[in-house]
Amino acid sequence: MALREIITLPDRRLRLKSEPVKRIDAGIRKLVDDLFETMYAAPGIGLAAIQIGVAKRVITMDLSKKEEDHRPQVFINAEVTWKSAEKSKYEEGCLSIPDFYEEVERPAQVKVRYLDLDGQEHEIEASGLFATCLQHEIDHINGVLFIDHISKLKRDRITKKFAKAARKVEA
Residue 67, pLDDT above cutoff 90: no
Tell whether 66 is covered by a domain. yes
pLDDT tier at 170 (50, 70, 90 boundaries)?
confident
Tell whether 124 is covered by a domain. yes
Residues 19-59 have pLDDT tens digits of 999 999 999 999 999 999 999 999 999 999 999 999 999 99
Tell whether 4 is covered by a domain. no
Residue 1, pLDDT above cutoff 90: no
Write down the number of H helices and E strands in the chain: 3, 7
Q: Considering its fold, how many domains does the chain have in total?
A: 1
At residue 146, the pLDDT reads 97
What lies within 8 Å, CB to CB, of 31 at 6+ separation is 49, 54, 56, 58
CA distance 60 to 46: 6
For the question of whether the overall pTM of this predicted structure is more than 0.85, the answer is yes
Residue 159, pLDDT above cutoff 80: yes
Residues 80-131 have pLDDT tens digits of 999 999 999 999 999 999 999 999 999 999 999 999 999 999 999 999 999 9
Where residue 56 sits, what CATH number does that domain have?
Answer: 3.90.45.10
Instruction: Identify the active-site residue in 5, 68, 91, 137.
Output: 137
At residue 165, the pLDDT reads 86
At residue 60, the pLDDT reads 98
Tell whether 140 is covered by a domain. yes
Tell whether 143 is covered by a domain. yes
Let me know if 137 is a catalytic residue.
yes
Tell whether 142 is covered by a domain. yes
Q: Which domain holds residue 137?
A: 12-170
